[in-house]
Amino acid sequence: MNYQWYPGHMTKAIRMMQENIKLIDIIIELTDARIPASGRNPDIDELGKNKFRLIILNKADLADPAITKKWKEFYEAQGNFVLEMNSKTGNEAGKVKDVVQSACAEKIERDKKRGIVGRPIRAMVAGIPNVGKSTFINKLAGRASAKTGNKPGVTKGKQWISLGKNMQLLDTPGILWPKFEDQEVGLHLALIGSMNDENLDTVELACELIKVLDKYYPGVIKEKYNISEEQLIKFEEEQYATKLSAVLSAIAENRKLIKQGAVPDIDRASALLLDDFRNGRLGRLSLERPE
């Protein structure tokens, strides 16, 4: 499957970010803690190469904590400020303002020497679609300032949001990039829901998820769905030719997702598996390692 999804509004969003970057002191870049590398748009690196950078490893409650710790150390070693966060609880929101103040300390001091006092720090909040930017902003602001939704593409235009006298946030739409050189990047983005599922083959995507989880977390799917070896052998010996489709058939059978003719509904099983992964019901799992 070719993983590409680049709606027209993303080109407009990039242009808007380019026009506003000169107003910005720091970029707060959110990336999904389950895919910290694939979840970072290289266009944002180019756009903000002369700006301070705070990387938020968002949805850390869904990711493997030991792996997230390694990613935090990895990005800090590159000179970035890094925070782990669960935007839904907002437990780390208070730290964000402190880190932004620390990151911009040199700039604030330069302003003071030039007689500029009290000017709020301006931060651009950027990231890929469905990474939780709007929820993050609302927790930071303590109010519903940005539109939210559990699908990509909710934020379509820019929004300036004031956080008291000392900080202003520019919310920007989630942006992907026009072409993925590495299709594994596209796969990871599709798995966490940063692409529109309507443009994807759900069964194929679920099979890819099974392969990735079998590599890093063998046994997690069998345990979650009570799949036995006997079931897998049975389905492989029948009309289901591959181990991957046998797993989906077993999930369907155990969750009573059956089509007419007593056939396991692997389409519904695929959708269930993806939804369970995306919402953390399979456990705290990461799809990428720094090494």
Q: What is the 3-state secondary structure (H, E, C) of the chain?
A: CCCCCCCHHHHHHHHHHHHHHHHCCEEEEEEECCCCCCCCCHHHHHHCCCCEEEEEEECHHHCCHHHHHHHHHHHHHCCCEEEEECCCCCCCHHHHHHHHHHHCHHHHHHHHHCCCCCCCEEEEEEECCCCCHHHHHHHHHCCCCCCCCCCCCCCCCCEEEEECCCEEEEECCCCCCCCCCCHHHHHHHHHHCCCCHHHCCHHHHHHHHHHHHHHHCCCHHHHHHCCCHHHHHHHHHCCCCCHHHHHHHHHHHHCCCEECCCEECHHHHHHHHHHHHHCCCCCCCCCCCCC
In this prediction, residue 23 carries a pLDDT of 86
Q: Classify residue 187: in a domain, yes or no.
A: no
CA 287 to chain CA centroid, Å, is 11
Q: Does 226 lie in the same domain as 158?
A: no
Question: How far is Cα 169 from Cα 124, in angstroms, rounded to an integer?
Answer: 6
In this prediction, residue 208 carries a pLDDT of 95
Question: How far is Cα 101 from Cα 121, in angstroms, rounded to an integer?
Answer: 8
Amino acid identity of residue 41, one-letter, is: N
Q: Does 219 lie in the same domain as 158?
A: no
- Looking up residue 157, the CATH number of its domain turns out to be 3.40.50.300
Q: Does 237 lie in the same domain as 131?
A: no
Q: Classify residue 55: in a domain, yes or no.
A: yes
Q: Does 147 lie in the same domain as 81?
A: yes
| Cβ neighbours of 216 (radius 10 Å) | 14
Q: Does 212 lie in the same domain as 100?
A: no
According to DSSP, the β-strands at 263-264 and 258-259 are antiparallel
Question: How far is Cα 82 from Cα 283, in angstroms, rounded to an integer?
Answer: 23
In this prediction, residue 32 carries a pLDDT of 95
Contact call for residues 277 and 209 (beta carbons, < 8 A): yes
In this prediction, residue 154 carries a pLDDT of 42
Which of 171, 191, 211 is the endpoint of a domain? 171
- Looking up residue 230, the CATH number of its domain turns out to be 1.10.1580
CA 43 to chain CA centroid, Å, is 16
| Main-chain dihedrals φ then ψ at residue 210, nearest 5 degrees | -60, -40
Q: Classify residue 291: in a domain, yes or no.
A: no
Q: Classify residue 181: in a domain, yes or no.
A: no
pLDDT tens digits in sequence order for the chain, 291 residues long: 655 555 555 667 777 777 778 888 999 999 999 999 999 888 788 777 888 899 999 999 999 999 999 999 999 999 999 999 986 776 777 788 889 988 888 888 888 888 888 788 999 898 888 888 888 888 888 765 554 444 444 444 567 888 888 888 988 777 765 566 678 888 998 999 888 788 889 999 999 999 999 999 999 999 999 999 999 988 888 765 578 899 999 999 999 999 998 899 999 999 999 999 999 999 999 999 998
Question: How far is Cα 78 from Cα 72, in angstroms, rounded to an integer?
Answer: 10
In this prediction, residue 241 carries a pLDDT of 59
Return the axis-axis angle of helices 133-141 and 93-103, rounded to nearest 10°: 90
Q: Does 146 lie in the same domain as 21?
A: yes
Q: Classify residue 120: in a domain, yes or no.
A: yes
Domain count, the chain: 2
| Main-chain dihedrals φ then ψ at residue 161, nearest 5 degrees | -130, 125
Q: Does 221 lie in the same domain as 120?
A: no
Q: Classify residue 176: in a domain, yes or no.
A: no
Could you tell me how many residues make up the chain? 291
Query: 214 lies in which domain range?
Result: 201-278
Q: Classify residue 145: in a domain, yes or no.
A: yes
Considering the entire predicted model, what is its pTM? Answer: 0.84
In this prediction, residue 221 carries a pLDDT of 97
